[in-house]
């Protein structure tokens, strides 16, 4: 048992070094909440961790898009609640509010941005790309009320809500494009 654990630690450190990954102090690799908050590892990206988290969110959307719309909405609600918990816990353990590597909120925001595809049953690459771009646009630009939420709401709720708002704005944009027949 001890040999197996030391082998895992060895490879974890080797892969981290090889990929230029910086593990923040306070990150517990044995804590599932930390792994979820860091987007199953996508938040470790040294370049644009939020974008990497969003990309993985799009990949994870593929099986989720097969759910009936009511089940998908239930999944979104569950994900928001789970995100509040894991982001709060991880943020507290790291000692940093909304560490750049915490990207579970990007998953949820991206899934919200792609909600119109589930509601309309529309599948295709173009609306998927549009949802990704619109979500990243609103998440990075942070127009009002997103910027206000980002600055004034603390804890796990604050970490999640700015991305939920960005996801809703992006979803409105995707729905508008679908209604107008652009894809």
Where do the H-state alpha helices sit in the chain?
2-18, 32-37, 49-64, 69-94, 104-113, 115-120, 125-141, 146-152, 155-179
- Cα distance between residue 178 and residue 183, in whole Å: 6
**Which residue shows structure tokens 């771009």?**
133
> For 19-36, how does the pLDDT look when each residue is reduced to its tens digit (9 = 90+)?
567 788 899 989 999 999
> For 67-100, how does the pLDDT look when each residue is reduced to its tens digit (9 = 90+)?
999 999 999 999 999 999 999 999 999 999 889 9
- Cα distance between residue 85 and residue 105, in whole Å: 11
Rg (CA), the chain: 17
pLDDT at 5 over 80: no
> For 36-63, how does the pLDDT look when each residue is reduced to its tens digit (9 = 90+)?
999 999 999 988 999 999 999 999 999 9
Average pLDDT over residues 102-131: 96
pLDDT at 1 over 60: no
pLDDT at residue 12, as a whole number: 60
pLDDT at residue 157, as a whole number: 96
Number of C-alpha atoms within 13 angstroms, CB side, residue 55? 10
Lookup: tokens for 100: 């750049």
- Cα distance between residue 108 and residue 22, in whole Å: 24
pLDDT at residue 66, as a whole number: 96
Three-class DSSP category at 65? coil
Three-state SS string across 98-115, please?
CCCCCCHHHHHHHHHHCH
pLDDT at 111 over 80: yes
pLDDT at 108 over 70: yes
Query: Residue 135's CB: how many other CB atoms inside 10 A?
Result: 29
- Cα distance between residue 111 and residue 133, in whole Å: 13
For the whole model, what pTM was predicted? 0.88
Backbone angles phi, psi at 24, to 5 degrees: -70, 145
**Inter-helix orientation angle 155-179/104-113, to 10°:** 20
pLDDT at residue 127, as a whole number: 94
């Amino acid at each position: 048992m001890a040999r197996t654990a030391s082998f895992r630690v060895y490879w974890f450190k080797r892969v981290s070094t090889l990929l230029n990954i910086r593990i923040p102090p306070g990150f517990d690799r044995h804590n599932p909440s930390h792994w979820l908050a860091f987007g199953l590892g996508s938040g470790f990206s040294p370049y644009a961790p939020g974008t990497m988290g969003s990309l993985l969110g799009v990949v994870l959307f593929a099986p989720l898009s097969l759910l009936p719309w009511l089940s998908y909405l239930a999944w979104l609600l569950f994900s928001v609640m789970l995100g509040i918990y894991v982001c709060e816990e991880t943020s507290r353990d790291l000692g940093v509010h909304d560490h750049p590597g915490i990207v579970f909120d990007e998953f949820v925001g991206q899934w919200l941005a792609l909600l119109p595809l589930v509601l309309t049953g529309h599948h295709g690459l173009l609306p998927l790309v549009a949802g990704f771009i619109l979500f990243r646009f609103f998440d990075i630009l942070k127009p009002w009320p997103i910027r206000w939420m980002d600055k004034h709401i603390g804890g796990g709720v604050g970490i999640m809500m700015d991305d939920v708002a960005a996801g809703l704005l992006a979803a409105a944009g995707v729905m508008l494009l679908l209604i107008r027949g652009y894809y």
